[in-house]
Amino acid sequence: MQTQQTIGQSVSMSGVGLHSACPSQVTLSPAPPDNGIVFRRKVNSHVETCQALIRNLRPVELCTAIGSNGFQIQTTEHVLSALWGLGIDNAFIDIDSEEVPAMDGSAAPFAQLIQLAGVVPQARPRTYLKIVEPIHIRNQNREISILPAPLPKITYTIDYNHPLIQQQTYEHEWSAWNFQTNIAEARTFAFSREIEALWDRGLGKGGSLDNTIVFSDSEDGILNEEELRFPDECVRHKILDLIGDMSLLGTHVVGHIIANKSGHDLHTQLVQTIMDNPDAWILLGPEKDQTDVSDLIPVGKDSVCLTPLA
């Protein structure tokens, strides 16, 4: 059993949004125990807030967005993955736009920012949600499950018709060291044949070879000058996204997540399904012998309740 953690000081980073192409600055700041991860944006003299929780999920394509109290933030998954992957339970994320900057397309810049700020233990035990009954979600040939397990673990499989990807499977045992070493640097990816269609849908307008791996139609590889950081970088990035999306549960999970050709929609549907099935889990922690999360997950006064996903 570990204590909750925050960061030691405020640290900032600027870039452009992957989909909006708008300039964006984020500042990570310490937060008190039981605060959770909260986005903030100052509008005139008013500060709007949005908790990074599944109840605040907003429907968007190709990224994870949350919104409440008058504003929406999209492409939250990479900064949330860095915080959750490095074991940060409580932090404020101040942002001056509606999209988190893409940086290099991975979680590494955010992880480096957290390391610069320092990780600070807090005098409050962490509570864990332990899976005791399997949960399965399937959508045609895409599926995701979470099974009882003694420790947190992710097994992810992808399959793309490209010679540099094809079928990849990676198993990630959840720890801050493993995240920093094996997951954080994996970048988002796209295919050159799909880029114009993305632009037509108003997506990927801030994408570039500096923040996205672009796979060419030919068999000789990628358009980027930088080579792949890992031979299986694509599946590692999917795990990165999954960690960020799972943070919307608001507490750390003890279970084995198995994903096959999944994506943001199934990731967040898994989070919602866990919330909707309290018989499938128990809480582990001081005086936690019940399946009540009302005192575990903070509820903002203006938060929006999300109905179960179809």
Q: How is the chain classified by DSSP, letter by letter?
A: --EEEEESS-EEEEEEBTTT--EEEEEEEE--TT--EEEEEEETTEEEEEE-SGGGEE--SSS-EEEETTEEEB--HHHHHHHHHTT---EEEEESSSB-B-TTSSSHHHHHHHHHH-EEEEEEEPPEEEE-S-EEEEETTEEEEEE--SS-EEEEEEEESSTTTEEEEEEEE--HHHIIIIITTPPPEEEGGGHHHHHHTT--TT--TTT-EEE-SSTT-BSSSSPPSSTTHHHHHHHHHHHHHHGGGSSEEESEEEEES--HHHHHHHHHHHHH-GGGEEEESTT--S---TTTS---TT--PPPPP-
Catalytic residue among 78, 252, 264, 267: 264
Does 172 participate in catalysis according to the annotation?
no
Q: Spell out a b/e string for 129-159, using b for 16 or more CB atoms within 10 Å of the CB, else e.
A: bbbeeebebeeeeebbbbeeeeebbbbbbbe
| Active site residue ranges | 264
